[in-house]
Amino acid sequence: MFTGIITDIATVTELKQRGDLRARLSTTYDPDGIEIGASIACNGVCLTVIERGMSDTGWFDVEISAESVSKTNIGDWTIGSRINLERALKVGDELGGHIVSGHVDGVAEVISMHDEGDSTRVQFRAPEPLAKFIAPKGSVALNGTSLTVNEVQGAVFGINFIPHTKSATNWGDTKVGDRVNLEVDTMARYVARLQDYAA
């Protein structure tokens, strides 16, 4: 489990297709503090560490199945891509965002961006089957970041990115047309399921 509070921005330094896709991510995390088999959310996708070490910086490798590549934006990763990271939640950690599973529900698209003062208002188009789970003032995880929804119209929803979020995550790199990993709020999913049963 995760909280959607990003704690590092990694850089993709290697991508190798070996049956599954293997990626190496350069990080400021101390590799000695990363266990083999540990779960790390990479742009919101829960991935398992299979190797780690130190060169100029710390790094770790993850193996990514074809299923994960097809259901997320991992297929868009290139050498040099900057990736939001979050370590798995530990008992006693502060829950600063919302409960995030690291299981991406679908891929949303950035359809517009404009500055509002120092902040940036971004509109996304969600896959139609996920639109019912997104509500004004509700939570979503986008590329692993816990965010509050400002407005919703059909499958289109808006998020306001403050300067801190843009500098502490990879959202400062965002442009129109980008595909982003979307995980809807777990509570919204259960409420919709209960409504289906009540109907």
User: What is the tens place of the pLDDT at every residue in 51-92?
Assistant: 999 988 999 999 999 999 999 999 999 999 999 999 998 766
The H or E element containing residue 65 is none
DSSP-derived pairing of the beta strands 58-64 and 145-153 = unpaired
Residues of the chain with CATH 2.40.30.20: 8-87, 106-198
- Provide the whole-model pTM: 0.92
The H or E element containing residue 195 is helix 186-198
8-87: which CATH topology?
A: Elongation Factor Tu (Ef-tu); domain 3 (2.40.30)
pLDDT score recorded for residue 160? 97
CA-wise closest residue to 175 among 87, 76, 93, 100: 76
Q: How many CA atoms lie within 13 A of 166 on its CB side?
A: 15
- Higher-pLDDT residue of 196 and 181 is 181
CATH code for the structural domain at 106-198: 2.40.30.20
pLDDT above 90: percentage of residues in the chain: 84
